[in-house]
């Protein structure tokens, strides 16, 4: 894309530079904001979408951020990665738990339920979303083939989705880049309404 046509508010919980490159690659101009940004601050920036980045720590301890995410998701197409995935899982009504060992490094096979394709992924997290805690309006879109943990979610009525792994890390090397394209399509669709 020769120029950015979409504006994305990107929450910085520990965002990676390559995520910002991927956003530019889909024609989006990311505006990086601090983790403590309120929903009203997002509104003031008039974005086409919101991105929730990766980051360290226990997502359940971030209640102040989860409250803002709950306000944001009915307003904007939202995409989350890693910690962003866990925060969306909780905001959707689910719960998280600490993994015994966590998932670290590359070559983790993840199955996309919608396409049945297996992606080779890079991971770095210690918490996961409990599938049985999710409400009926949220679907699991990706599963970890090593241990059966949740690797992706999508809301059935809101334009919000997320993945536990790192598509920007490119271990496949391009297996998961479609997720950024999916985010672009959600934003373009919302702009038309």
| Three-state secondary-structure class, residue 161 | strand
185 flagged as catalytic: no
Cis peptide before 137 (omega within 30 of 0): no
155 flagged as catalytic: no
Is the Cβ–Cβ distance between 48 and 7 less than 8 Å? Answer: yes
| Three-state secondary-structure class, residue 192 | helix
CB-count burial class (<10 Å; 0-12, 13-18, 19+) for 136 = exposed
Catalytic residue among 119, 155, 162, 168: 168
If you write DSSP's letter for every residue of 94-125 in order, what string do you get? --EEEEEEEEEEEEEEEEETTT--EEEEEEEE
Nearest to 5, CA basis, from 33, 25, 32: 25
Q: How far apart are CA 90 and CA 163, in angstroms?
A: 13
Catalytic residue among 82, 85, 155, 162: 82
Q: Which residues have CB under 8 Å from 1's CB, separation 6+? A: 24, 25, 26, 27
For 48, 102, 120, 148, the CA distances from 187, given in Å and listed in that order, are 6, 32, 26, 31
103 flagged as catalytic: no
Catalytic residue among 151, 166, 174, 185: 166
Query: Catalytic residues, which ones?
Result: 82, 166, 168
């Amino acid at each position: 894309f020769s120029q950015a046509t979409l504006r994305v508010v990107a929450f910085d919980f520990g965002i990676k530079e390559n995520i910002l490159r991927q956003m530019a690659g889909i024609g989006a101009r990311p505006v990086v904001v601090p983790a403590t940004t309120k929903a009203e601050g997002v509104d003031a920036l008039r974005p086409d979408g919101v991105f929730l980045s990766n980051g360290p720590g226990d997502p359940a301890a971030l209640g102040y951020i989860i409250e803002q995410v709950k306000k944001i998701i009915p307003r904007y197409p939202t995409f989350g990665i890693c910690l962003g995935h866990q925060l969306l899982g909780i905001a959707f009504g689910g719960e998280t738990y600490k993994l015994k060992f966590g998932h670290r490094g590359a070559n983790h096979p993840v199955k996309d339920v919608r396409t049945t394709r297996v992606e080779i992924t890079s991971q770095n997290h210690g918490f996961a979303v409990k599938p049985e805690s999710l409400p009926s309006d949220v679907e699991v879109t990706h599963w970890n083939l090593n241990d059966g943990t949740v690797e992706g979610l999508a809301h059935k009525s809101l334009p919000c989705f997320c993945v536990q792994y790192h598509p920007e890390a490119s271990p496949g090397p391009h297996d998961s880049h479609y997720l950024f394209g999916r985010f672009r399509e959600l934003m373009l669709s919302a702009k038309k309404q």
